[in-house]
Structure 1
Amino acid sequence: MKEHIGNGSAGEVSLLRLYLLRGLYLLVAVGLGIQVWPEIINRSGSWELMEGVVQCMLLAFWALCVLGLRYPLQMLPVLLWEVTWKSVWLILVALPLWASGQMDDVTMETVAASLLVVIFPFIIPWRFVFAHYVRKRGERWA
């Protein structure tokens, strides 16, 4: 028996796809948890401005991915944001540095970490995204 979630054929998401989404949220939550929580728990002193911003954003992303384990479709905008910002960063920042031969080790580490995003488009249910975020009528303005 194949269970589908959603309304209408374009908005249906298979149970398998829901499990794949949950697996993606779990992968991100575990990976970020290993990276972020020790930084937060073991920090001694204050962070530099941008380091503090990054750590707080990563912690917020971690929390939203944990929530995605329970609500994988409702938390899709979080994954869409991740795909968008990493793609933009890879194209506008990393690619020109690489093409000009100016890629340093720190940037290359960020590139390696960011390339995990290449699996996201294969797991995101694009027909659901299109049906619920493009074709669906938006809320009224007034």
Structure 2
Amino acid sequence: MQSNSSTENESNNITRENNNMHDFIEKGAPPVPLWKTWGLRIIFAAMVIVLGSKQLNYILEGASEWNNWRGLGHSMLVTLAVLAIGGVFRPLAFLPIMIFEIAWKLVWLTVVALPSFLAGQDVPGIVNAKSSIIGICVLIVLIPWKYVWWRYVTLPIEPWRRKKQINDKTS
């Protein structure tokens, strides 16, 4: 049975650690220009409206007729549109979605579209190559890269396990 004072000390230590982390995060975050935040909100809203409506139409028209890979692609894209709803309200918290968007489009452009283009063939029409290139360029400008570096590289990682608590047993 733990005494009240050891339980209070543990909760005080946890509260102090959380406050220290909160202070570190608040004081250390690089400033993000308001225009970048609003630009990201607009891109997230466009993903919700344009991508969401397009993918919803594809799903309602006949998802049962798709092969596995086409179904996978449409499922991924509709999920991106749904998750983008959060980005409209909290664009910095949902930055990993935009980073994923850049990454998958760069992979698609490099692995699928570029070889077809260089071979003189039509670029597969699943994703519009020109709008993908423009979108990637806009996102590269809008993403606050200093903030991304600070948030995902320099902040301490979450612990793999909890520290063992030393309890004073006084009866």
Match of 2:115 in 1: 96
Aligned-residue CA RMSD in angstroms?
A: 2.2
Worse overlay, 82-91 or 105-114:
105-114
- 1:28 and 1:42 mapped to 2: Cα distance? 20
Q: Is the 8 A contact 1:36 1:55 kept in 2?
A: yes
Of 84, 90, 100 in structure 2, the residue corresponding to residue 65 of structure 1 is: 84
Q: Percent identity?
A: 29
How far apart are residue 113 of structure 1 and its match? 4.2
- 2:111 and 2:122 mapped to 1: Cα distance? 16
Pair 109,18 (structure 1): closer, same or farther in 2 beyond 3 Å: closer
- Alignment pair present for 1:14 and 2:39: no
- 1:32 and 1:86 mapped to 2: Cα distance? 14
The one-letter code sitting in structure 2 at the alignment partner of 1:36 is Q
1:93-114 CA-partner distances (Å, limit 9, x unpaired): 322332232x325358542342
How far apart are residue 92 of structure 1 and its match? 3.0
Pair 68,44 (structure 1): closer, same or farther in 2 beyond 3 Å: closer
Match of 2:68 in 1: 49
What TM-score do the two structures reach when normalised by structure 1? 0.82
3-state SS of 2:71 partner? helix
Q: How many residues align?
A: 136
- 1:125 and 1:111 mapped to 2: Cα distance? 24
- List runs of 5+ in structure 1 lacking aligned partners: 1-5
- 1:117 and 1:31 mapped to 2: Cα distance? 16
What TM-score do the two structures reach when normalised by structure 2? 0.69
How far apart are residue 90 of structure 1 and its match? 1.4
- 1:92 and 1:100 mapped to 2: Cα distance? 13
The one-letter code sitting in structure 1 at the alignment partner of 2:143 is I
